[in-house]
Amino acid sequence: MLEDIHGRTNDFITTADGRLMHGSTLTYVMREFAGIANFKIIQHSALAIEIILVMESGQLADSLRAEINRAFKQRLGQKVEVAIILTEHIAVEKSGKYRFLISNAVNESFGNL
């Protein structure tokens, strides 16, 4: 008998004004930027989001940092604090799968949807 089934989960994002947005909206935004090898988006609250980046070159240009910041604020609200962290590797979840987006804000505000 199966103990657990691990499928793909899709988190929702909470905007600064309280709207819900499907998380894939932000993953599509990230895929538009050149030079990003891998990324993970973590929403800590409706006003705080963290973007972890692995860059192909190992470097993050100030202009790209500004573009990402602007794109996220445009979608989530100007009051949202966007923290961008550059790293060399992003680990997979304990299930062995990779999650591009994790939202703790929706879980806090609305429960698991």
Sequence ranges of the domains in the chain: 34-110
pTM assigned to the model: 0.83
pLDDT value at residue 113: 44
Average pLDDT by stretches of 10, the chain with 113 residues: 50 90 91 95 95 96 97 96 96 86 70 45
Structure tokens at 35: 């030079």
The pLDDT tens digits of the residues spanning 66-93 come to: 999 999 999 999 999 999 999 999 998 8
- Cα distance between residue 75 and residue 90, in whole Å: 24
In CATH, what class is 34-110?
alpha beta
